[in-house]
Amino acid sequence: MAILASINIGQPQPIPGKTAKTGIYKLPVEGDVTVTREGIEGDAILDRKHHGGKDQAVYLYFADDYDWWSGQPDMQVTPGLFGENLTIAGVEGRKVAIGDRFIIDDVVLEVTSHRTPCMVFAARMGDPKFAKRFHQAGRPGAYCRVIKPGTFHAGEPVKHEAFEGDRITISEMMALDGVREIDPDFMRRALKAPVHYKTREDYQDRLARLF
């Protein structure tokens, strides 16, 4: 059975070597937490251009992926290390697909996209090459939209409902980051799923240019 292992919330902190601040430093919290259409109540989202918004309101990372990372050199993992709002145990992260739903108490989340690592993430990890390392690992975690807001707390069971259409995994999506020419058939498949609106617009534009 899948479990909500941890709920992680961040407060504004300076980005190492920068004057700007970030909410990527997240720590586990206890008790009931409210989830709105915009995300976890009380969680800092500072770079609204690249983070937050209804199609990436909540970021999930998976305990089995952390288990993999714990076997890598110089890695000591704890919940929230990668800036995720929810750490979920009992789900194979690499097989999570666009459109999958996670139901926790009365909250319903729907997967929209993978996480693309950025330089702030690398700075948080103290390694300028970590974005590349994260990408090569192919374990991106999942951004979700909130289908049904509500409250939950750590330790609750999680119901994972697989998307019934053509499955496009978050690992497959991540592998295409930076690829200039994407297979049109793949894009058509992805557009049949409830993919992030930015990806939808990008794929629709790419396909339109083919004709």
pLDDT means over runs of 10, the chain (211 residues): 96 85 94 96 81 91 97 92 97 97 97 94 91 96 98 98 96 95 97 97 95 76
**Closest-CA residue to 91 (of 173, 167, 161, 190):** 161
Model pLDDT, residue 51 = 74
The whole-model pTM stands at 0.95
Using only the alpha carbons of the chain, give its radius of gyration: 17
pLDDT for residue 1: 85
pLDDT of residue 11: 92
Q: Residue 18's pLDDT is what?
A: 78
pLDDT for 145:
98
> Among candidates 110, 104, 109, which has minimal Cα distance to 195?
110
| Domains of the chain with bracketed CATH | 2-208 (2.40.33.20)
